[in-house]
Amino acid sequence: MNNEELQKEMELKQQIQQLELMVKQKLTKQALERFGNVKAAHPEKAIQLLAYLGQMIQSGQVDEQIDDDQLKEILIKLTPEKKEFKIKRM
Give the span between the Cα atoms of 75 and 42, in whole angstroms: 12
Q: Please check whether residue 67 is in contact with residue 30, taking contact to mean a CB–CB distance below 8 angstroms.
A: yes
pLDDT at 86: 82
Q: Please check whether residue 68 is in contact with residue 34, taking contact to mean a CB–CB distance below 8 angstroms.
A: yes
Q: Please check whether residue 70 is in contact with residue 37, taking contact to mean a CB–CB distance below 8 angstroms.
A: no
| Band of residue 66 on the pLDDT scale cut at 50, 70, 90 | very high
60: left (phi over 0), alpha (psi -120 to 50) or beta: left
82, pLDDT greater than 90: no
**What pLDDT digit, counting tens, does each position of 8-34 carry?**
999 989 998 999 999 999 999 999 999
Q: Can you give the pTM of this predicted structure?
A: 0.78
Q: What is the DSSP letter of 21?
A: H
